[in-house]
Amino acid sequence: MGDVSDDESDPTQTSGATLGHRLPGLESDTEENARLRLGLYGVGLLVLLALPFVVTTFWTRIALQALMWIGLAQSWNMIGGYAGYLDFGHGAYFGVGAFATGIAMVQFGAPFLAGFLLAAVIGAGLAYLIAVPTLRLKGAYFAIATWAFAEAVKQGALITDITGGTFGMSLPVGPPPAVFYYAMLAMTAGTLLLTWKLFERSEFGFQVKALRDDEDAAESLGIDTTRVKRQVYVLSCVVAALFGSLNAYFITYIHPNSVLAPIVTDRMVIMVLLGGLGTVTGPVAGGLIVFALERLSALFLGESTFYLPLIGVLIMFVVLFAPSGIVGFLRGDVGSTDIKRNLRELADKFDFR
């Protein structure tokens, strides 16, 4: 028998370019889908840009907060989703950025831009100092260490005079909400674009995913996992600090029990788990759902914590039936067959017959 090429012997290994050549409709369909997605993104961006002109200041503030939480969730997704390190102290950098800006503006009379840059510098420096010892840990040990760090920062802020202690800190009144809205929109869009470019379209992103999947195997391939982990951690923390800086100037009053509260990290984690770990759009979907449930609960029921049981139920169903999150379910990572199998296994486990 004559030699058989790889393409003929194993059709499943045929490259995308070959398939596109053999099936002309495939390549054009892909291009058409790409144009459709770009068109939808363009329409969405136009809607967001026009929002302050068509809604009241109240809804502009709501949209601004939603954008902030999407950006914060994406910052946690960098270390928790792409690198696979569950950081339970990520909210500390949100508070550090807020207080760095507040101290610069209130104690030293600096303009906001100086405080904004200071938040990035302090966030980066502190993140590196924490990354060196904690990233030697894995799993629950890393999670506990970062949680302890966040609690230490919060308690330190409560007893330190320069942060206002238990009285908190009032910042100068800033520009109108529309200005903050566009600033937050730019930051969130920049964070999403950075995540897509850095973690989905670069060699660095492949290195991060490799260490997430198997750190020992990644090291055997020559990847400096220690350096990569530190870079991801510092980057994610700097992003959180910058969002904390802008939010502090917007709300004009910060307190350790609010900007350094554990619920800040908890929300980020829930948003990413619900939307989809290690995806660009997962934190967007999860962030919008969690924030909408929280706001609707407070608006119509007068109880801002009522959304927590609903989120708990959603997380339970996601973990059981769609571990890759809402985005993974919509992409088809989990089909109806998988859901039925999980239901049967659950019924057998608890003897539901």
pLDDT band at residue 227 under the 50/70/90 scheme:
very high
Condensed to tens digits (0 to 9), the pLDDT of residues 266-294 reads: 999 999 999 999 999 999 999 999 898 88
- The answer to whether 319 touches 329, Cβ cutoff 8 Å, is no
Q: Considering the chain, what is the average pLDDT of its residues?
A: 86
Q: Is 221 helix (H, G, I), strand (E, B) or coil?
A: coil
**Nearest one of 238, 268, 256, 262 to 68, comparing CA atoms:** 268
- Alpha-carbon distance of 77 to 85, in angstroms, equals 9
- The answer to whether 90 touches 268, Cβ cutoff 8 Å, is yes
**Nearest one of 238, 257, 83, 243 to 166, comparing CA atoms:** 257
pTM of the model: 0.85
- Alpha-carbon distance of 304 to 297, in angstroms, equals 6
The answer to whether residue 234 scores a pLDDT higher than 60 is yes
- Alpha-carbon distance of 75 to 61, in angstroms, equals 21
Q: Which of 8-17, 180-189, 245-254, 256-265 has the least mean pLDDT?
A: 8-17
Condensed to tens digits (0 to 9), the pLDDT of residues 291-343 reads: 988 887 777 776 656 667 777 787 777 777 777 788 887 777 766 676 677 67
Percentages helix, strand, coil for the chain, rounded to the nearest 5? 80, 0, 20
pLDDT band at residue 225 under the 50/70/90 scheme:
very high
Percent pLDDT > 90 in the chain is 68
Domain layout of the chain by residue ranges: 55-350
pLDDT band at residue 20 under the 50/70/90 scheme:
very low
Q: Which of 44-48, 94-98, 104-108, 188-192 has the least mean pLDDT?
A: 44-48
Q: What are the φ/ψ torsions at residue 254 (nearest 5 degrees)?
A: -130, 150
- Alpha-carbon distance of 82 to 255, in angstroms, equals 31
- Alpha-carbon distance of 225 to 147, in angstroms, equals 23
Structure-token pair, residue 269 = 């984690």
The answer to whether residue 170 scores a pLDDT higher than 70 is yes
Neighbours of 296 (CB within 10 A): 13
Condensed to tens digits (0 to 9), the pLDDT of residues 176-197 reads: 999 999 999 999 999 999 999 9
**Nearest one of 79, 103, 108 to 91, comparing CA atoms:** 79
- Alpha-carbon distance of 329 to 326, in angstroms, equals 5
264, HSE (Cβ side, Cα atoms, 13 Å): 30
Q: Check the CA dihedral 317-269-89-231 and report its sign.
A: positive
What pLDDT does residue 183 have? 97
CA 275: distance to chain centroid? Answer: 10
Q: State the pairing for strand pair 169-170/253-254.
A: antiparallel
What pLDDT does residue 15 have? 39
**Nearest one of 145, 94, 85 to 119, comparing CA atoms:** 94
**Nearest one of 155, 153, 164, 329 to 237, comparing CA atoms:** 153
